[in-house]
Chain A
């Protein structure tokens, strides 16, 4: 009988009280978190929140001013050749060799880790770029370049994968396409750490997120829990003029009501009676029901609109 040992006691990534300042600016100001094996972890926040700096310190590209980092039990700084083959990093700007084709790129990166050309070609197929193999990388579209860049980061089959804003600058379809690739990577048992400034992306992909701003983690947890804990009102909207404002007030006691001439919106913590009443009056034209999202969590935490 095979006994599976759960090593939940040693997290894959441990970060405690991490700090980094550039002159007067505290880019990372006392960050602590843990990522468990196999987890999909997201660090989110607006540009300049300190996400990339945090990630780069964990990857071993930057030296922290203070604090402790352990990745797979190893310290990433100074450059740790024992750790490097076990992590895969996709940089914010995709780094490709000049004037090489897609296939040559991934084969070169693979061989740096002693991975065969055959295995490299398999990765090209996994990210759906088999047919593009002989194209120079600059001829690929933005989404294809990102997929190639991710394949190059994964060709050596690392245990931990770091992705820095992998979908920024992509069109919506290319983003969805990439999400599928990222989900697969995680489902194969790899620990994935992702930074993003798209809240919907974090909500859709991550098991757990940490919301960062001004170099600090404001809150962390599974997206659904964060949203639930917010206890924000549900917004029910119907087309303006479907019912009068007075009728609306009458059927929804205690709800916050607003009519901007386009939509009549109820903000309420008890949506069921209102929906039932509206249905009874056959006043559901243009209905939309929107629960709280991470965006609301962010707004609540920082007191301001999310600046993506």
Chain B
């Protein structure tokens, strides 16, 4: 027990005093959070530029409160030069140009951007309908349409980014921690020295597991804390704390990957390269950086074989999708199974010494 404690302490001090390691485990993911947070801040509402040529009664007569709603989707700029407006639409600078000739509202659009053109056409059609109804004296329509997204209203980018980036940070922290400790301890003959002391291999490994779980908890606390700041605006669902067991299982899974990388590498450089080759592509393929919803089917199938996918999805489920803690059980099972298999392989390849 004392050797477990003192080895944990030695590892933890080694980590805290290693500026590079603390940067990559704690600050680097936070930098990603800031960068992605800024990039996707307005992704929910991207406005469409529309040019209004001359006076268009249906637009000009919209009451103030409805105008506010409209300006969330359309950015209307007034101009008097039709030719210049058409040129802008052709160049793709504006989505459409709207003019009114008597009772006819004309929408000039570019066929090059079908989506934006359809948006403008749809909105203008509804405005024209509304105008017709008003002129016909209908003030309260018999039918109204209200559209609501199925996700929580707050499912902004930060909601899926936080669990995704945190999952990646935990995965790389655990993988690099285990791989580099193993290789540099072997290279610096610390493993040989430990072999000459009565300490068991179990104590060495449990010390590493304990320290890695501690680091993962620290990463999570800092990361979630920052994401909760008003600038980022993360909103956690009620069972958010249920990410802790899944995080522990994920840490174990990636520790085992790190042990395997460390077992087959002779130098810290090689171990670091192998760990990077495993963790970075996996982060992309597991939806850590962006959702896989639009990815091709084969890629989504492939991602089901990656432990990070299960870690990230499961963390999203409890942290922001409001699922109950039991929803994480299958993923915990998968990650633990993965850990057992990979640790077994690493144990078979384990060497105390270089020579």
Contact = CB atoms under 8 A, between A and B. Distances in A.
B351 to A, nearest CB: 12
B272 to A, nearest CB: 15
B92 to A, nearest CB: 56
A112 interface: yes
A93 B6 contact: no
Q: Is the interface of B mostly helix, strand, loop or mixed?
A: helix
B31 interface: no
B18 A99 contact: yes
A109 B14 contact: no
Contacts of B347: none
Contact of B14 (A60, A91, A99, A112): A99
Interface in B172-193: 184, 188-190, 192-193
Interface string A218-258: 00000000000000000000000000000000000000000
A100 B353 contact: no
B17 A109 contact: no
B197 interface: yes
Contacts of A114: 2-3
Contact of A79 (B14, B188, B195): B195
B199 A97 contact: no
Q: Is the interface of A mostly helix, strand, loop or mixed?
A: loop
B193 A104 contact: no
A98 interface: yes
B9 to A, nearest CB: 7
B198 A95 contact: no
Interface size class of chain A, counting residues whose CB lies under 8 Å from the partner chain: 20 to 34
Given A111-B3, A112-B3, A112-B199, A95 B192 contact: yes
A85 interface: yes
A61 B192 contact: yes
Contact of B353 (A61, A108, A111): A61
Given A61-B353, A95-B189, A99-B18, A84 B13 contact: no
A99 B21 CA distance: 12
Contacts of B10: 97, 100, 104, 108
B194 interface: yes
Given A112-B6, A113-B197, A113-B198, A96 B192 contact: no
Residue among A91, A94, A96, A111 facing the most chain B CB atoms (10 A cut-off) = A111
Nearest to A92: B189
B2 A84 contact: no
A97 B12 CA distance: 11
Interface of A: 59-61, 79, 81, 84-85, 87, 89, 91, 93-100, 104, 107-109, 111-114
9 contacts: A61-B192, A61-B196, A84-B198, A93-B188, A99-B17, A100-B10, A108-B6, A112-B7, A112-B199
Given A61-B196, A96-B188, A113-B197, 4 more contacts: A85-B198, A99-B18, A100-B10, A100-B14
